[in-house]
Structure formats: structure tokens, C-alpha cells
Amino acid sequence: MKIAMIGTGYVGLVSGVCFSDFGHEVVCVDKDPSKIEMLERGEVPIYEPGLDALMAKNVEAGRLSFTLDLEKAMDGAQAVFIAVGTPTRRGDGHADLSYVMAAAEEIARTAKDYVVIVTKSTVPVGTNRQVKQVVRKANPDLDFDVASNPEFLREGAAIEDFMKPDRVVIGVHNERAGEVMNDIYRPLYLRDFPIVTTDLESAEMIKYAANAFLATKITFINEIAALCERVGADVKQVSKGMGMDGRIGNKFLHAGPGYGGSCFPKDTKALARIGQDNAVPMQITETVIQVNEEIKRRMVDKLLDLCGGSFNGKTVGVLGVTFKPNTDDMRDAPSLAIIPALVGGGAKVRVTDPQGRHEGEALLPGVSWVEDAYKAAQNADVLVILTEWNEFRALDLKKVARKMATPRLADLRNIYSVRDAKRAGFEAYESIGRTGFSRIEG
């Protein structure tokens, strides 16, 4: 089968590469000439482990190509996927659908034969019906169907998630479109991975409901962590005990500085807005959004306490700025709330991240970048762990403490323990949802 993939961002590129590995002929389309040139050179514009090798393999096999020309990409294609951005619209919280609708109109003007137009982007309920109207208006004679196929890819594990999914969700409005979608995903169907076929609206809602629920789990354990600190409980033990309950599960119960990334912040806001527009307020989701912002502010307060009540004149080393490890994505990362507060308070901030510098240099003015954790710690008053990259999990803490002007550690990902910090010679240690210690005088 030939597939056209519109958009070579995170979702479009990963999906296109993986579809080609299924054996389909895939042409990825983008309007950005520099991005297409980069892809044609074999360079991947995003950081995703294993994607470069898989892309090279399928380009060499002749199943994967890149172009600026949508007409060329759609020639003979039985399905065209829309995988463009749907950022939060400034001012009202709605998902911005302008890129989706522009792509739909362009497909309508370009397509000649029957095609299934598949929305891969995360879109509000009712969007696929709008896509159908846009296409029909632009080309009344076109024979086509629409389908919803939301993605559930974790950054840093996207290829594994695509090839071995918990489920594939397909929303269609007739059997003809369903047959095309089943053919596309036949390699997964043959290996008994679950394919959930629904109506269009249910498929759209599944994506938002899933992400909002996961954001709720993260925010819930972060609130529990704050209470643990007050009552002397250990949130890691609490999470373990909770997660053993089969009704709850142990995933997304790791306390930290708040959720971020390309999905949870955007999708929770969109779901809240959908609820408001339909007079069914999503009160839990609205509260999750509010509490998540408060959690980030609470992290700033923690650091302020470690700095003796003022950031002014202090040197702070920061380990990690991306919203999670194994990605270069900084969208809505906790670092974007915490580091500007440090800089604004007069701190000298020194930052290191294995993949975050390219984005971070533009997003975090006023900081200096260094190569590793030990240089970040050099003569620092406080060291902060913001992202749990593997290289930050096995530091020589004694070496770190010796390098610092005042050895104080803010472990905002609970990588280490009070015992680790004391043995290494730190005079103060703070984490999330656990009792820390301080030997700071005054």
C-alpha cells in the first residue's frame, strides 16, 4: 500500500518511518525545504533513540522518501495521514486546527482517486467531521472517506510504542474506510496486538481522555508527595504500595516537579475547553491544570529554602532541562518555569543536558551551558536535578560535593536518597515527598 504522510514533526516522522518498516511505500511531505533537505541527507531533525537507523534502513530499501510536493506524494496513495501541529490557541485554550484544515483543503485539491484521509494529529471531538466538510466543499466530486487514528507514542520510546502498542485506535464511519485502515495495520493485527475500531467521535475522545487521566495520576501523586513531606511519609514507598493494586497500576506514579511535554499540557487544556463549550465542565481536569502549575512554583520555593531565602548572588547548577529523558523536547518542561525564577532572582545558573541545549539556548536566556554534571557543580551553592537522564543516575556524589562551594542538592526526581547524600558529604538534601536534611546554620 502507498501512504502519504503530511508533516514530518515528531508524530508524522515516527509514524511514517514505522509504516515503511511494515512494508508500505511511504512518502513524507513537509512545506519546510530545510527539513526535507535534512531528511534526504539522512539526518533526523528530532532526537528519538533508534529513529535514524530505522529511517536509513527503509530509505535504502526504497520504501521511504521525502518531498515538498504533495501531488507527487499522493499519486497512487490509498491513504493520506494528517500529522501536523495542533498547538494550544493563544487566549482561549482551544486546539489550533488551522494547520489541519489547511492540509485537508490541499488534499482535496490534489487527490484524484479514492483516498482515506486519516487524522493522526490530536484534535477535538468533531474535527474529523469538519475535515470531511472542508474536503467536500473544496472538491465536491472527490471520492473519499475520513478516519481518526490518534497516536499514543511516548517520546524516548516511540518506536517500541508504535511496533508493540497497547492498542491501536481507529475511528471510521463506514466499512470501506475500516478495510483500508485494517490493511495498513495488518502487521500488528497478525501479531495479536489489539485494534480498537470505533466511531469518529469516540476515537477523538479516547486520546484526550487517556492523556487527561495520565496527567491526573501524575498530579495526584505530586499532591500526595507534598503531604508526605509534612507528615513524614516517603512518597516512593507510598507509590509502590499504591501501584501494587491492580486497579491502580504503578505507571505514572513517580513524584516530580510537574508534568510537561508536547501532549499533557496541550491536551488537558483542550479537553477543559471542550467541556466548557459543551456545558459539561471537566472539573477534575481543570483542577489538574491548576495544581500542576502550583507544583512548579513549589519547586522554586524548595530551591529558595536551600539558598537561604534568596537566589541573589548564588550559583546554581542544573542537571537536565528537557521535560523527560531520551528526548530533546522542552515544550512546557518544568525547567521553563524554574530556571527563569532562578535567573530573575539574581542567581548565576549553569546548565547541562545531553540533548536540550539546541532548544534551551533560545528558551532559557541568561544561563551558561557546560558539558557535564561535574562542571555544572563546580563552585555551585546548590545543584538541582530536573531531568532523570541516565548519566545523572550514577554520579560520583562525593566528587560532586567536593566540587561545590556549599554542597546542597535538590533532587527533584528522587534519584538518590538521604543516605546517599549524607555519605557523599552534602550539608543539605531535598527531594520530592520525602524527608530531607539540613546542616545549614542560621
Catalytic residues: 263
Strand order in the sheet with 25-29: 64-67, 25-29, 2-6, 79-82, 115-119, 144-148, 168-172, 195-198
Instruction: Give the dihedral sign, CA 97/98/103/105.
Output: positive
* Distance, C-alpha 246 to centroid of its chain: 26
Total residue count of the chain as it appears in this document: 442
Torsion of CA 168, 171, 172, 176, to 10 degrees: 0
Q: Which of 26, 149, 3, 143 is nearest to 80 (CA)?
A: 3
The rounded distance, in Å, linking the Cα atoms of 126 and 314 is 52
Angstrom CA distances, 280 to 116, 119, 203, 216, stand at 32, 25, 19, 18
Those residues with Cβ within 8 angstroms of residue 344's Cβ, 6 or more apart along the chain or in another chain = none
The rounded distance, in Å, linking the Cα atoms of 228 and 432 is 9
Those residues with Cβ within 8 angstroms of residue 184's Cβ, 6 or more apart along the chain or in another chain = 1, 3, 19, 22, 24, 79
The rounded distance, in Å, linking the Cα atoms of 280 and 208 is 15
CB 20 within 8 A of CB 64: yes
DSSP SS3 for 19: helix
Angstrom CA distances, 208 to 6, 21, 104, 176, 265, stand at 22, 28, 22, 26, 11
The rounded distance, in Å, linking the Cα atoms of 200 and 210 is 16
Instruction: Give the dihedral sign, CA 398/399/403/409.
Output: negative
CB 326 within 8 A of CB 365: no
